Amino acid sequence: MPYQLAFTEDYQRRALRFLRRHPQLKAQYGKTLALLEINPHHPSLRLHALAGRLQGLHSVSIHLSCRITLELLIQDGRIIPINVGDHDTVY
């Protein structure tokens, strides 16, 4: 079942800022988003639930040090990205 990414204006601003700081990750970022729509549980995304103040959100990896936090609404087939950045920025 394919999923649908739903981008908020806040997320789009964060993503643009992230890609300006890390232009070398543009292709990997796009690949991560495409894979999220096809199969958010793909092993290479390393999807996991977050705890603490981010409880209720999930995280996927762009690469070893950069993450995307997201709200995963599986029942609606929607994925809402919340934040993108390096590990310390996102968490």
pLDDT tens, position by position, 22-52 = 999 999 999 999 999 999 899 999 998 889 9
How far apart, in Å, are the Cα atoms of 50 and each of 13, 17, 19? Answer: 23, 23, 24
Mean pLDDT (the chain) is: 87
Number of independent structural domains in the chain: 1
β-bridge pairing 78-86 and 48-49: unpaired
Cβ(59)–Cβ(47) below 8 Å: yes
81 burial via Cβ count (<10 Å: 0-12, 13-18, 19+): buried
Q: What is the pTM of this model?
A: 0.86
Spatial distance between the Cα atoms of 52 and 65, rounded to a whole number of angstroms: 20
**Phi and psi, residue 57, nearest 5°:** -105, 165
Domain that holds residue 74: 4-90
The runs of H, that is alpha helices, within the chain are: 9-21, 26-38, 87-90
Q: So what's the pLDDT on residue 70? A: 83
pLDDT tens, position by position, 63-85 = 888 888 887 766 678 899 988 88
Q: What is the CATH number of the domain that holds 28?
A: 3.30.2310.20
